[in-house]
Amino acid sequence: PSINLMEYKRFERQSLLKYGRRDSSYGSIVTECERTDRAISLSLTEMVEQGYRVISARDVVLPQDSGFLSALQKFWLISPLSNAIRTTKYTLWTFFPKNLFEQFHRFANWYFLLIIILNFVPQIQAFGREVSMVPLLFVLSVTAIKDAFEDLRRFRSDREVNNREVLVYDWDTEQFTSRLWREVCVGDFVKLCINEVIPADILLLHSTEQDGICYIETANIDGETNLKQRHVAQQESDTLSLMSLGEFQPAVFNGAIYCEPPHSKIYDFSGYIVYPDGKRIPVNRNNLLLRGCVLRNTEAAIGIVVYAGHETKSMLNNSGPRTKRSKLERDINSEILSSLCILLVLCIAGSIGTGVWTQHRFKPYIPFLPKDDDDSPALEAFIRFWTFLIILQVIIPISLYITMEIVKFIQVYFINWDVDMYYAATDTPFQCRALNINEDLGQIEYVFSDKTGTLTENQMRFQCCSIGGIDFPHQLKDELDGLQEVLQSQGTLKKQKITKPDKFCYDCDLQSKISNLVKQNGLTEEDDSCLHEFFVVLTICNTVVVSRHASNDEKASEPDDKECEASFNMDHLSESVLSDVEKLLGHTNINDIRYEAESPDEQALVEAARKYGYVLLARAPGRVVILTPQRGVVEYHVMHVLEFDSRRKCMSVIVREKGTDQVILYTKGADSAIYSFLDHHSGLKFGKYSALQDGTTTRASLTQAQLNLYARLGLRTLCMAKRELSRQEYDEWYRTHHDAEVSLSNRDELLFESYITIEKKLELLGATGIEDRLQDGVPEAIAGLRQAGIKVWVLTGDKQETAINVGYSSQLFDEVMDIIIVNATSEEGCRELLEYRVKELEMQAGIESASSSASSLDTGFIMAAYTTPIIKLAKSKIKPKPKTDLSATGPPKALVVDGATLVFALQDSVKGLFLEVAKYCKSVICCRATPLQKAQVVQLVKTKLNAMTLGIGDGANDVSMIQMADVGVGISGREGMQAVIASDFAMGRFHFLQKLLLVHGHWCYSRLARLILYFFYKNVAFAVLLFWFQIINGYSGSNPVDGVNLFMFNLAYTSLPIIVVGVADQDLRSEVLMRDKSLYAQGRLSQIYTRGKFWIFMLEAFYQSLVVFLVASSAYHLDVIGLAEFGFIINISIVFTVSLHLAIETYHWTIANHVVLWGSLIFTIVFNLVYCAIDTRQIFIDTYQVFIVTASRGKFWFILILIPFVALLPRLIFRAVRQELFPSEVLQARALEKEDQMYCRCLSKTAHINTTPVEPVEPVLFSQIQANNVSHDNGT
């Protein structure tokens, strides 16, 4: 995009300020803004040289590598400071050279360019020079046109975006004036209005909302439709109030913004604002408005541009569609090398034949050959080598790539149009985001899945809680009591089925205790304090936003009907409390409050707290207001929010209640994290609660027992804790924490260390159990994938007990499985435990003899099991019987690894053993897995086992796993669209994965594998046919087929039929594939496309071409025919032969197949009749009227029938013998499918005679046929 002259002059005038100039003497950055009197602890020069940028009201200083000269040279394209974007790959001047450069990265294009060059050498030339250019020009042109249309679409989109308007502060008029997006630069002040799209990454400096808050919708970034809260940076200087409700004046802003260089991490931003008095105010992602987001529920907001154009986070993440290469496409390279070897062998054989013939020919007896005593056999052989290279060029299938792209493109549309994978509840159709890995769906061996939101609904429901060691089971009392009895009586539990109600139900005991608090009008005992603090944690320790504009905004979330069936009772609220609520909200109806939460867990907890009278009324930067049953409206000053991260597995808030000086840390997180932070030396004992157990039982042990019960019921568990901080403790911590906040280097690590420093010596308050229901169809889908031989791994952040329960309910585990649970406390213990497990499994599989007993092991690990015993030692030696699938040996096994053990298992010294154990298991669950560990597990299986992997998830924490897998699938769920954006395929529900793999994956693999084999076969057959002709032609390099027909063979005669087969052929109907999942093994084990089958097809190509040559030459042996006439005969014959070969290999005949196949054969005849009626005056072969004469003879039509029959007879015999004596599972399925169809037709005929209803016959699974060793024949 161009920039007008006025804008260019302004840039040029300020360029030295914005970029600085290089001082050759000292090698430092010198700018005018460095000469100001600002008190900055770190010099501007040092900051810029470290890579940071400094932005003030009028000046922008960039790092040294964005120097003024280089930026000025690039200015007319895209300036680093400009907000203009360009996503196009080409310009009008660079399209042809750049596109050709990219296309010639393919080896095949270079090969055919070499053929064209060789054909221009007179001594080597085999046919017309112009004709030799047709194949390459056709391929290059088609690809260039496709690229041009795609780039034109991007250009129009860029133009539309760059020409949007926004209000920018004009320093001359001191007013906000309208300007195009592409004219916005870094350092400009921008004013945004409600519902306006944000044009750049802007640091928020002012908002019309109270407390400097604004609301944005990030759907364009991460797909999440719930509103996010952003706020002005906390102001500690008294010289300027950025949160003032008055009109903001950019000219008054006298701070300098120090921020990090642009990067692609959307949820990461660090920097600080420095004021003239030396104060530094930290800024983070909560102060940044990202390009592409929409301002909601806020009248106006003003900020300064820190990143513009291609430096914005959205553009840095917009890398376009990721390019992946499928497994079949990678295998094509080896087959092309094989074809090249065949080509070289033929060329070398032909050149040797030329040399021998030239040396031994008898010129006196061949009067039509020129006499030349200087003929050198070696030179003639060398020249003819290149001639044969030109003639036999068709052996390399140049059109294969284009054909595959066309077939895959159409396949994608058919998959997208499958209504069975359309999720109507959210109007979510299936999306194929990657266009070139369709066939990989049919070869998946391992599926790695997230749990929350992927297998479950991600609709959290509060079910029960434990407060101060007392269990409040709510509606699960009977289930929990029954479960505890089972555990006490048996000591183990394999599976527990319960029925959880949909509606929220109050717990009578808990409601009674809260009512007593209201009556007492205060906290009288420690028990009451624990109860109160527990609900305070639920209410304020979160990032939930109160959406006060829900009634006016279409984007505001609506409450869950079932969750709100139990409403908050406001009868006990006094008039003064209602008056305070009305002042804050503008109304008194507590139940009308709507919450916007980034996490469904947080929303469920806040909603549950509201049911019991603890209501979140307002949240703003630095404060939170809640309503409590006994104290009314209470305001807290939020001093710090310690955000959640996957390493700490918790989040905390540091608050101070208004009117008091007590600083309190409230923490919420996973039990494994909270328990490690507890003050175990406090010896917590508590009043009347101790009557439940003996006096030495602590609150922590009671709560842990209840957590285990919750987890065994499949509930998600969280622990609540607090810590009261003295002023001295807080001040000491704050000094180091503030340094971490304003640090621009290693900030994340410093903040992490700061967090764990304060999150210790915690007092446990209680725990919660939240249910996340399985999606409909998940158990059936997982069972189907397992029946197909696919190993399913679930990588979850839940507790081990919760994960195991979900494993049973989702049919990841079943009753007959042996569950191997690996829990270790050290890396050494983990290694020894895995070694022991490997030996046991090898013994059970019969791979090696029994090893020493486990009693001698001193491992220092914890062994746990749900079944008795998990693995039984073999009593006698078993003869070795190795199998490819180790998980098929012995009883089915499953592996469960907890979070701590997973850390050890992924170490270099242990991961090999971990993988050995996992290979014996059909299902694996990894608990407490972080996003990085998920990716590491996928990478381990993918690289070490060389297996095809699929990753499926729904949230940002699954992106690394999805991108690491060979195929990534994103679920359009409640955690946004991050997973969808990073995925290759996107869908609305997990159970769609079953049909995607078992049906569409099977079809795509089968079609494309046979397409590739057919392409190599037909090209080799045609090329070898031309070679056979050289034997009777003195190896002269003469080509019997003219140049036009030579190239029409691939471009027209044989191209369309294979495209139709690649798009629409079905070896089995979808109902059959879904009924018998074992048929998926054909693709999973790569049974169609193998090296052996490739060479079988090559042998067929040699045989069939030899048949064509011998029959044709024998039929016309005594006739006088010319070179061109013989060329037409063998050319038409080979076209008919390879086309009928495709007809034999076609499983599912449609109208399109008949029209295209027989139409192509008719087109071949008609085209040659028309072509020979035109006097083309070719150099080597005169085709004028030749085919017309040839077709007028009956012999031609006779051999046109005879040749395909003789050539294809072995193929027909082979197929008949295989189908009758050695049928594969697919052939058996096809035979039974035909019988079912015949049976149904018989039933329909007899229905008119006998009206008695006939019970349908249950279909037979083909795996049962194999199990019963039943052979199938026509009489069955």
Instruction: Dump pLDDT digits (tens) for 599-616.
Output: 778 888 998 998 888 999
- pLDDT (tens digit per residue) in 433-455: 888 889 999 999 999 998 888 88
pLDDT beyond 90 at 975: no
b/e burial code for range 361-394 (CB count within 10 A of at least 16 → b): eeeeeeeeeeeeeeeebeebbebbbbbbbbbbbb
Task: Report residue 873 as tokens.
Answer: 């030692």
- Which H helix or E strand runs over 282? strand 280-284
Residue 3 or 975, more confident? 975
Task: List CB contacts of 849: < 8 A, sequence separation 6 or more.
Answer: 843, 877
Sign of CA dihedral 853, 855, 861, 865: positive
CA distances from 500 to 463, 497, 809 (A): 8, 10, 13
Q: What pLDDT is stored for residue 9 in this prediction?
A: 32
Residue owning tokens 């869950």:
560
Residue 351 or 1037, more confident? 351
> Do strands 791-795 and 923-926 pair parallel, antiparallel, or not at all (unpaired)?
parallel
Cβ contact 439:328 at 8 Å: yes
Residue 484 or 617, more confident? 617
Average pLDDT value for residue range 129-147: 80
CA distances from 83 to 157, 181, 199, 304, 601 (A): 15, 6, 8, 13, 38
Helices then strands (H, E): number in the chain? 42, 37
Q: What percent of the chain has pLDDT over 70?
A: 76
Look at 486-490, 707-711, 860-864 and tell me which has the smallest mean pLDDT.
860-864
pLDDT beyond 70 at 995: yes
Cβ contact 964:975 at 8 Å: no
Cβ contact 901:831 at 8 Å: no
Q: What pLDDT is stored for residue 984 in this prediction?
A: 87
Q: Rounded to whole angstroms, how far apart are CA atoms 806 and 714?
A: 6
Active site residue 277: no
Task: Report residue 1163 as tokens.
Answer: 């087109």
pLDDT beyond 60 at 480: no
- Total residue length of the chain: 1276
Q: Rounded to whole angstroms, how far apart are CA atoms 799 and 792?
A: 19
Instruction: Report which of 968, 970, 922 is spatially closest to residue 222, judged by C-alpha positions.
Output: 970
How sure is the predictor about 1273, in pLDDT bands with cuts at 50, 70 and 90? very low
Cβ contact 811:782 at 8 Å: yes
Look at 209-223, 298-312, 544-558, 743-757 and tell me which has the smallest mean pLDDT.
544-558
> Do strands 893-897 and 862-863 pair parallel, antiparallel, or not at all (unpaired)?
unpaired
DSSP code at position 1001 = I
Q: What pLDDT is stored for residue 535 in this prediction?
A: 92
Q: What pLDDT is stored for residue 884 in this prediction?
A: 52
Query: Edge-to-edge, what's the strand order for the sheet holding 862-863?
Result: 431-432, 985-987, 967-971, 949-953, 446-449, 791-795, 923-926, 893-897, 818-823, 862-863
How sure is the predictor about 61, in pLDDT bands with cuts at 50, 70 and 90? low
- pLDDT (tens digit per residue) in 659-703: 888 999 999 998 888 988 887 644 443 333 333 344 335 788 889
Task: List CB contacts of 923: < 8 A, sequence separation 6 or more.
Answer: 786, 791, 792, 793, 794, 807, 812, 813, 817, 894, 895
pLDDT beyond 60 at 1036: yes
Cβ contact 362:331 at 8 Å: no
As beta bridge partners, residue 193 has 300
Task: List CB contacts of 201: < 8 A, sequence separation 6 or more.
Answer: 288, 289, 290, 291, 305, 306, 307, 308, 311, 312, 313
DSSP code at position 719 = E
DSSP code at position 997 = I
DSSP E strand boundaries for 605-662: 615-620, 623-628, 632-645, 650-657
Q: What percent of the chain has pLDDT over 90?
A: 24
pTM score? 0.75
pLDDT beyond 70 at 72: no
Q: What pLDDT is stored for residue 853 in this prediction?
A: 37
- Catalytic, out of 222, 450, 553, 798: 450
3-state secondary structure of 1148: coil
Q: What pLDDT is stored for residue 1227 in this prediction?
A: 79
Q: What pLDDT is stored for residue 559 in this prediction?
A: 42
DSSP labels, 540-577: HSS--EEETTTTT-TTSPPPPTTGGGSPPP-TT--HHH
